[in-house]
Structure 1
Amino acid sequence: MELYGKYSRSLAQKAVIHILEIVFLILSYWILFQEGGDWFAKILSIENASDVLLRRQLIFVFNLIVFVRLGYMMFFLLKRKIPWEESISVPLAFALYYIGFSLFVLPVSQKIDTLDFFAIFLFLCGSILNSGGEILRNQWKKRPENKGKIYTEGFFKYARHINYFGDLLWVIAYALITRNPWSVTIPLFLFCFFAFFNAPQLDAYLKEKYGAAYEDYAKKTKMLIPFIY
């Protein structure tokens, strides 16, 4: 599925993505706060420890923030064409966050502590790196003098795909809030997807598009994690 180099508003695909996301948000609410928690607990043979409501509220607030950010970025910042396959795969990926973390938190009865405040901080940092980086890049690209140039400023001077690193941070924050060791599988899967598929694919496209300018940028900047990888 070719994701780069083609431009379109793709309004129908974006509408499908957001309709499906709303469905997953409703399912998340049903699991966290209604009888869905008992239903899944019985199927999965786990406890539904609904006494720590604040932990579940944090998960759902995270869900809402991610939904709003994705909507803004897709409708106002994303310029490339969205293939119909992606209009299905993207909501399914976000179902891992909305539904997956809602299920992981079900058996957890631990009260909110310092680690949870750190997770909230991590979530905010990741959201700022991801959405903030895209907003700054969009503003830079609107200037006529920057047409045809590669953006290497703002957060992107610390890593070529700093927006993906931001994604990793807020997904790790979800996992910390759940306090379920199995939840580490989601950020681990996301890291592997970015590190070994998505980022290299985008690197290849940008190298072809910008040539020597991108090669020079790549020599000076880490791919995904600032100063490390």
Structure 2
Amino acid sequence: MIDNDGTQTLLTLGIGLVAVVVFMGVCLALAIRAEKLTVVDTAWPLGFVTIAVVSVFVADRGAGGYAWPSGLLLLLTTVWGVRLAVHLHLRNRGKPEDPRYQQMADADGRSFAQVAVRRVFLPQGIAMYLVATPIMVGVNNEGHYTWLAWVGVLVWLVGFVFESVGDWQLKEFKKRPDTDGKIMDQGLWRYTRHPNYFGDACVWTGIWLVAASSLPGLLTVVSPVAMTIFLTKVTGASLNEKGMRESKPGYDDYVRRTSGFIPLPPKTG
């Protein structure tokens, strides 16, 4: 199936938008009920899985049957999303509100529900839809897949390894009783201060490359660009490092010797 007139792609984008609104609306209700904004952390990766499932269903119905390229995008998104959702849920389970969200709620001055809608779920829902465009477009690329798809799988794999291994290394580091108040600068964290964020950016660059075998898919490059900006400048590294500088003595020295994003050998001297 080659979506020459774009009708099927537009339909997928439209239904994908509905899926985001419904999914984030349900998660918002759960967050308000629990009065905990951290709910959005687990919701974030699962939202992409939801978009992928809906998009594949719509695209395959339009194609008149199952198409393997759409299944590839579903597989890549689901493996990444489920792994990350489980990791974040276990990390946050039984703990109080994340200090980042608590500070946001305290400083805003509005009701919890207003803060949840305006400051968290609405902007993250918009970001989710924007980042997911390669999925919604790529599932309609049957007949247009090229070698770029396999390059995308390799980039995705690099990202998945960096993100999952980095998360595991940090979790194991925190379990040790002798690391309280210390900085994680071992394993992948020796080469980049944010191996998980670097991995996330690679994952979405890989998904975009899978979709980029067609011109419409190529135009969704806004997805990995937006995700990288979010991770480095908006909600990821910048907020994380602000808290680390306040709570971890010696963090500035770690910053001086360790790459902020792309893995590089640590500086000496």
Please give the range of the TM-score, normalised by the shorter of the 2 chains.
0.7 to 0.9
Alignment-derived partner of residue 24 in structure 1? 51
Note the aligned Cα RMSD (angstroms). 3.2
| CA distance in 1 between partners of 2:65 and 2:49 (Å) | 26
Match of 2:97 in 1: 81
Residue 34 of structure 1 aligns with an amino acid whose one-letter code is: R
Q: Does 1:187 align with 2:218?
A: no
Q: Which amino acid aligns with 1:24?
A: I
In the TM superposition, residue 64 of structure 1 has moved relative to its aligned partner by: 1.1
2:162 equivalent to 1:126 = no
Which residue does 1:173 correspond to in 2? 206
Looking at structure 1, the residues matched to 131 and 59 of structure 2 have their Cα atoms a distance apart, in angstroms, of: 13
The runs of 5 or more residues in structure 1 that have no matched partner are 1-7, 38-49
- Quick one: structure 1 residues 74 and 190, their matched pair in 2 at CA, closer, same or farther if it must change by over 3 Å? same
Name the CA shift for 1:32/1:67 in 2 (closer, same or farther; >3 Å): farther
- Within 2, Cα distance between the matches of 1:129 and 1:140? 16
Identity across matched positions, percent: 21
Distance 1:121 1:107, change over 3 A: closer
Query: How many residues are treated as equivalent by the alignment?
Result: 205
Match of 2:12 in 1: none
Residue 59 (1) aligns with residue 73 (2): yes
Contact 1:134 1:163 in 2 (8 A): yes
One-letter amino acid of the structure 2 residue matched with residue 208 of structure 1: E
Q: TM-score, structure 1 length as denominator?
A: 0.75
Q: Is 2:48–2:77's contact at 8 Å kept on the other side of the alignment?
A: no
Give 1:69 deviation, angstroms. Answer: 1.2
Question: Higher RCO, 1 or 2 (CA under 8 Å, sep at least 6)?
Answer: 1
Amino acid at match of 1:172: T
Q: Which residue, out of 228, 233, 250, partners 1:196?
A: 233
> Partner amino acid for 2:144?
Q
Whole-Å Cα distance in 2 between the matches of residues 80 and 131 of structure 1?
24
Q: Deviation at 1:103?
A: 2.5
Structure 1's consecutive aligned runs of 4 or more residues displaced over 6 angstroms after TM superposition are none
- Structure-1 residue corresponding to 2:264: 227
In the aligned structure 1, how far is the partner of 2:59 from the partner of 2:205? 19
Structure 1 position 71, deviation (Å): 1.9
Give the aligned residue type for 2:97.
Answer: K
Q: TM-score, normalised on structure 2? A: 0.65
Matched, 1:34 2:61: yes
Instruction: Name 1:40's counterpart in structure 2.
Output: none
